[in-house]
């Protein structure tokens, strides 16, 4: 037993789950339809299911829950890789210290500003700033680069970053307080694998990251420091995907027990090839597309109110499918070669030696937005909750009362309208305008007229209008 991860218990729940009969699986599906989430025993029953017919039922329910809770909106963000200097030696990552083919860069405030201007000028409002772990680039550097990003504006396009989330190594309570002062949104730490034995195999013990428990409680410390939006994740492909889903659930349950609220989002990156990183080719736990589809659906049933983030690691056609199954946030127009955004459009060859792994969705933000709108999804750049103090427990209460759909959809429409006014290509503007008109027609009179008034304000040049 390591902290809240009890390997034996998880393994025995999974073994029991595999033995569950059809009726038991049906019962769990029925329970999941209540949208109250699942217990570890129930989750293990779904994970153990091998009946493809029952999986079709699980997928159908995941799609329904997604639609009921989140409506047809998808939050968009851009990752911004700031530094790839790293003291760790994670077997799967191109930034590991022993990788001599990685070109090391740490952007300075000016270079961050250049990246941010490039992102703002295509329409991004939400960033995820990503850092390696290095003593010379610790919390002071993070605060400095976060400030530089918030301060950068592109006035001619109404460009501004309204929310910065961070993905970085675990910090101390004191360091998290500094990030809270810098007004970050969510802090993400992925456990990579929840299996302590496997964790030791892929993270050499003589490294900072080799300490499983320091990482396991990283987000507990963040909450102690007052950062109440925290995000968990696992890197799928390091160990059995079913075990990792159970680990994510144990993590969420322990946070609920201690702080009264679970994680704001869950990420489930899949292991991708990376330069001079042979491990990514031979890991025996690589997750297939079918297994990945199953895990997305189970996550949606297991924690219905927790946001699910899917990145450009996945191919566009798979992203389409996973969005319908439960994903609520994606990135768009992504470049992960450090300094890549400032160099120009994504058609420019990426510099692989500067990036952590390969991505498989290289479309521009406008292409992603257009496709979402064509399929009836409202791309959302909304950041209203954080600025209205709807975070942590307050957000969860709000979510459980069905307000994600009632308030987030109008806010999504308003930020989409801003995008259409300031950044969209003619094709996107046409499709987007029709979609907004259609959504307004489907809205009841009172809320519709309030929304129309706000849309009018945006048309007259006002920005950052939200409910
Ligand atoms: N250095 C910090 C850390 O390790 O916590 C920041 C995170 S790292 C830059 C972002 C995440 O990328 C890691 O937590 C890991 O899950 C993921 N990652 C690393 N190598 C990967 C690969 N080859 N394919 C896909 N994702 C990978
Ligand atoms: Fe460093 Fe993070 Fe990569 Fe590990 S995953 S080598 S800690 S950047």
Q: Residue 358: helix, strand or coil by DSSP?
A: coil
- Which two tokens mark 142? 């993070």
Q: Which residue has the CA at smallest separation from atom 2 of ligand 2?
A: 132
Residue partners of 9: CB distance under 8 A and separation at least 6: none
Q: Work out the pLDDT band at 347, boundaries 50, 70, 90.
A: very low
Kindly tell me if the per-residue pLDDT of 60 is higher than 60: yes
Ligand 2 proximity of 86 Cβ (cutoff 6 Å): yes
> What is the H or E stretch that residue 73 is in?
strand 73-83
Pairwise CA distance, residues 99 & 86, whole Å: 10
Pairwise CA distance, residues 452 & 450, whole Å: 6
Ligand 1 proximity of 314 Cβ (cutoff 6 Å): no
Answer whether 303's CB lies under 8 Å from 296's CB: no
- Which two tokens mark 82? 């700031």
Q: Which residue did the predictor score with more confidence, 408 or 251?
A: 251
> What is the H or E stretch that residue 216 is in?
helix 212-216
Ligand nearest to the CA of 279: 1
pLDDT of residue 190: 98
Kindly give the distance from the C-alpha atom of residue 91 to the centroid of ligand 2, in angstroms, as a whole number. 9
Kindly give the distance from the C-alpha atom of residue 325 to the centroid of ligand 1, in angstroms, as a whole number. 24
Per-residue pLDDT averaged across 200-220, rounded? 97
Ligand 2 proximity of 192 Cβ (cutoff 6 Å): no
Residue partners of 438: CB distance under 8 A and separation at least 6: none
Q: Work out the pLDDT band at 392, boundaries 50, 70, 90.
A: confident
Q: How far is CA 12 from CA 40, 44, 88, in A?
A: 11, 9, 33
Ligand 1 proximity of 356 Cβ (cutoff 6 Å): yes
Q: Work out the pLDDT band at 21, boundaries 50, 70, 90.
A: very high
Nearest atom, ligand 1, residue 84 CA: 9
Kindly give the distance from the C-alpha atom of residue 315 to the centroid of ligand 1, in angstroms, as a whole number. 18
Ligand 1 proximity of 92 Cβ (cutoff 6 Å): yes
Interval 257-313: pLDDT, tens: 999 999 999 999 999 999 999 999 999 999 999 999 999 999 999 999 999 999 998
- Which two tokens mark 354? 């500067």
Ligand 1 proximity of 133 Cβ (cutoff 6 Å): yes
Ligand 2 proximity of 132 Cβ (cutoff 6 Å): yes
Pocket test of ligand 1: the residue of 167, 170, 283, 338 to mutate, having most ligand atoms within 8 Å of its CB, is 167
> What is the H or E stretch that residue 58 is in?
helix 52-70
Answer whether 231's CB lies under 8 Å from 187's CB: yes
Rounded to the nearest integer, the mean pLDDT of the chain is 94
> What is the H or E stretch that residue 298 is in?
helix 289-302
Residues above pLDDT 90, as percent of the chain: 85
Pairwise CA distance, residues 58 & 26, whole Å: 9
CA neighbor of 73 nearest in space, from 432, 458, 364: 432
Answer whether 268's CB lies under 8 Å from 299's CB: yes
């Amino acid at each position: 037993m390591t902290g809240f991860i009890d390997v034996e218990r998880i393994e025995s729940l999974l073994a029991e789950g595999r033995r569950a009969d059809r009726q038991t699986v049906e019962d769990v599906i029925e329970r999941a339809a209540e949208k109250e989430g699942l217990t570890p025993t129930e989750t293990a029953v779904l994970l153990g299911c091998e009946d493809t017919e029952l999986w079709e039922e699980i997928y159908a329910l995941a799609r329904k829950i997604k639609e009921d809770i989140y409506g047809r909106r998808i939050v968009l963000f851009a990752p911004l890789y700031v530094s790839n200097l790293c003291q760790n030696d994670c077997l799967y990552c191109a930034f590991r210290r022993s990788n001599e083919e990685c070109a090391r860069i740490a952007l300075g405030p000016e270079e961050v500003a250049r990246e941010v201007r490039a992102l703002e000028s295509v329409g991004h409002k939400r960033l995820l700033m990503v850092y390696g772990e290095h003593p010379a680039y610790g919390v002071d550097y993070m605060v400095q680069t976060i400030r530089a990003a918030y301060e950068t504006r592109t006035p001619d396009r109404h460009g501004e970053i309204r929310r910065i989330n961070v993905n970085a190594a675990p910090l101390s309570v004191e360091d998290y307080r500094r990030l809270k002062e810098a007004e970050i949104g969510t802090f993400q730490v992925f456990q990579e694998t929840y299996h302590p034995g496997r964790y030791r195999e892929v993270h050499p013990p003589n490294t900072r990251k080799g300490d499983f428990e320091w990482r396991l409680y990283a987000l507990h410390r963040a909450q102690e420091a007052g950062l109440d939006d925290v995000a968990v994740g696992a890197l799928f492909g390091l160990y059995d995907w079913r075990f990792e889903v159970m680990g994510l659930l144990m993590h969420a349950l322990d946070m609920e027990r201690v702080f009264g609220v679970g994680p704001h989002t869950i990420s489930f990156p899949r292991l991708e090839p990376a330069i001079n990183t042979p491990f990514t080719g031979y890991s025996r736990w690589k997750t297939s597309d079918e297994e990945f589809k199953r895990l997305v659906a189970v996550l949606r049933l297991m924690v219905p109110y927790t946001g699910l983030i899917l990145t450009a690691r996945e191919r566009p056609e798979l992203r389409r499918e996973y969005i319908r199954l439960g994903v609520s946030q994606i990135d768009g127009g992504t470049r992960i070669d450090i300094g890549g955004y400032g160099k120009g459009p994504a058609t420019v060859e990426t510099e692989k030696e500067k990036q952590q792994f390969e991505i498989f969705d290289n479309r521009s933000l406008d292409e992603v937005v257009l496709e979402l709108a064509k399929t009836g999804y409202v791309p959302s750049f909304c950041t209203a909750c954080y600025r209205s103090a709807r975070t942590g427990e307050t957000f969860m209460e709000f979510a459980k009362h069905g307000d994600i759909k009632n308030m987030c959809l109008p806010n999504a429409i308003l930020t989409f309208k801003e995008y259409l006014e300031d950044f969209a290509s003619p094709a996107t503007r046409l499709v987007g305008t029709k979609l907004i008109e259609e959504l307004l027609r489907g809205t009841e009179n009172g809320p519709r007229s309030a929304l129309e008034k706000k849309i009018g304000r945006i048309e007259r040049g006002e920005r950052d209008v939200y409910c």
